[in-house]
């Protein structure tokens, strides 16, 4: 599923970029093509006008039609042809035979004849042809029965346009290859949170089903025992009823915790936040836990800095403290020690709850806040836990824009930290 999602993202991304690149390259090419053609036409007409008449001359003595003989045509002034252009001019008689030629470059007579033949074969006054691997453009000027045909070499300009196409093609292909791997990298990163959320959801459903399966099995078994002894009194079967009630209560706590987590994850859930005295809130939780700590013969120490305040929901923060302190007491070895501190750290308030015991292995520290995750499943079941307490604490702290994390020394101690702004 995620592979298809990634591939669709790649196809859409590459298609969009390809269309944009194609439009951009086509626009550049069209602009370049029009500029080149405009320059070619301007040069061709300048050469034709220069060869046809001198600058400012309406006629010239010695010519019956006002066109000066070639040897008497002015060579300076007016708009002379570009010095770097390769061009030549031929004059034909009424039958189209070569009468005269004019060129700055030395060429074979056969070349002039071949060029004239190519130009006349088109039957147009302006056109193009290829001769000896060169591209030429020509224009025909009619002077009575004679024709003056001007030829201009445009091979360089055509090569520029051709090379431009090759360059665009190479650059386009290279860019598509780079974009493919870049898009694939970012596509994988983009769907990673979706994949993680989906995997967590699957794991959550599997874990919830597993947790519900055990009490349901127990309830069903005890119900079968009751039904098999339907003639017995309720008093004689109170044990089975007590088992059913106990498992029902466990399921109730589990479903309540799941519903609470769902509400915490729902951003639409409205919460009343106000500034409250977190020092008093922590002290109140300590008072409620002192009896439990005393009964387990655990050493307890606390250091609460007075009059510390935070912005948030006091009942939810108390729940976080209760979860962390309850876990610390549960997982402390007999005659162990539990300590809780609350102090100001820079602009934040830092709460720490530590206990001596087996500690938490490094590979578990990043996952202990996941739902239903337990480092020791058998021990957690004996303690009556489902692995939801730390997940609830994390959700509450994150809604308060805080941070919760743990540090541990295996075989010695574990410490949980809550940092609130």
Q: Under a CB-based contact definition with an 8 Å cutoff, are residues 105 and 86 in contact?
A: yes
Q: How far apart are CA 375 and CA 197, in angstroms?
A: 22
d(CA 407, CA 413): 9
What are 9-20's pLDDT values in tens digits? 788 888 888 889
In a domain, 387, yes or no: yes
Helix 238-265 to helix 155-228 angle (10° resolution) is 160
**Residue 389 within a domain:** yes
Q: Indicate whether 333 belongs to any domain.
A: yes
Contact, 145 vs 93, CB < 8 A?
yes
Question: What confidence category does residue 256 fall into, taking pLDDT thresholds of 50, 70 and 90?
Answer: confident
Q: What H or E segment, with its residue span, contains residue 151? A: strand 146-153
Closest CA to 418 of 366, 308, 406: 406
Q: Which domain holds residue 333?
A: 272-420
In 3D space, the residue among 110, 202, 103 whose CA is nearest the CA of residue 152 turns out to be 103
User: For residues 55 and 244, what is the distance between their CA atoms, to the nearest angstrom?
Assistant: 117
Average pLDDT along the chain: 81
For residue 60, what pLDDT band results from cuts at 50, 70 and 90? very low
Alpha helices in 100-154 (DSSP H): 109-122
In a domain, 282, yes or no: yes
Pairing of strands 299-304, 337-345: parallel
Q: How much is the pLDDT for 384?
A: 52
Question: Would the pLDDT of 219 be above 90?
Answer: no
pLDDT band at 265 (very low <50, low <70, confident <90, very high): low
Closest C-alpha among 89, 85, 87 to residue 99: 89
Residue 1's Cα: distance from chain center in Å?
19
Distances (CA, A) of 274 to 239, 271, 304, 319: 48, 10, 21, 16
Instruction: Please indicate, yes or no, if residue 283 is contained in any of the structural domains.
Output: yes
Number of domains in the chain: 1
Asked if the model's pLDDT at residue 343 lies above 50, the reply is: yes
Confidence band of 308 (pLDDT split at 50, 70, 90): very high
Q: What's the pLDDT score for residue 57?
A: 45
Helix axis angle for 2-52 and 155-228, nearest 10°, is 170
When mean pLDDT is compared across 23-27, 34-38, 41-45, 369-373, the lowest value belongs to 369-373
What kind and span of H or E run contains 229? none
Does the residue 113 lie in any domain?
no
> Is 210 inside any structural domain?
no
Of 389, 307, 313, 319, which Cα lies nearest the Cα of 349? 307
What is the CATH number for 333? 3.30.565.10
pLDDT mean over 136-160 = 87
- 391 within some domain: yes
C-alpha–C-alpha distance, residues 71 and 303, integer Å:
114
Average pLDDT over residues 235-254: 83
Three-class SS state of 140: strand
Range scoring the smallest mean pLDDT among 20-24, 31-35, 49-53, 416-420: 49-53
Token code pair at residue 236: 């004689």
């Amino acid at each position: 599923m995620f592979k298809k999602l990634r591939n669709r993202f790649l196809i859409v991304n590459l298609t969009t970029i390809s269309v944009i690149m194609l439009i951009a390259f086509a626009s550049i090419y069209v602009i370049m093509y029009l500029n080149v053609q405009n320059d070619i036409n301007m040069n061709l007409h300048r050469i034709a006008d220069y060869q046809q008449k001198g600058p400012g001359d309406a006629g010239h003595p010695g010519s019956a039609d006002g066109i000066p003989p070639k040897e008497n045509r002015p060579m300076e002034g007016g708009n002379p042809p570009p010095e770097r252009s390769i061009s030549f001019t031929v004059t034909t008689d009424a039958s189209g035979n070569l009468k005269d030629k004019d060129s700055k470059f030395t060429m074979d007579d056969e070349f002039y004849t071949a060029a004239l033949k190519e130009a006349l074969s088109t039957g147009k006054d302006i056109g193009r042809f290829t001769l000896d691997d060169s591209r030429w453009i020509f224009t025909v000027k009619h002077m009575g029965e004679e024709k003056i045909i001007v030829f201009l070499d445009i091979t360089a300009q055509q090569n520029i346009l051709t090379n431009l196409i090759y360059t665009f093609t190479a650059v386009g292909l290279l860019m598509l290859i780079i974009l493919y791997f870049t898009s694939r990298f970012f596509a994988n990163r983009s769907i990673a949170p979706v994949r993680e959320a989906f995997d967590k959801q699957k794991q959550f459903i599997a874990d919830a089903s597993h947790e519900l399966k055990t009490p349901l099995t127990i309830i069903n078994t005890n119900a079968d025992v009751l039904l098999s002894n339907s003639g017995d009194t309720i008093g004689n079967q109170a044990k089975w009823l007590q088992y059913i009630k106990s498992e029902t209560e466990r399921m109730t706590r589990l479903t309540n915790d799941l519903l609470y987590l769902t509400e915490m994850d729902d951003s639409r859930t409205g919460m009343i936040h106000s500034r409250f005295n977190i020092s008093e809130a922590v002290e109140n939780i300590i008072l409620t836990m002192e009896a439990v700590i005393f009964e387990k013969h655990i050493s307890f120490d606390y250091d609460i800095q007075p009059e510390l305040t935070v912005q948030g929901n006091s009942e939810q923060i108390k729940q976080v403290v209760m979860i962390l302190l309850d876990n610390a007491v549960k997982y402390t070895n007999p005659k162990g020690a539990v300590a809780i501190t609350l102090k100001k750290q820079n602009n934040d308030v830092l709460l720490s709850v530590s206990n001596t015991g087996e500690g938490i292995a490094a590979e578990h520290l990043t996952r202990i806040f996941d739902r239903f995750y337990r480092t020791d499943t058998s021990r957690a079941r004996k303690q009556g836990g489902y692995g939801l307490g730390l997940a609830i604490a994390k959700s509450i702290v994150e809604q308060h824009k805080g941070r919760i994390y743990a540090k541990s020394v295996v075989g010695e101690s574990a410490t949980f930290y809550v940092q609130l702004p």
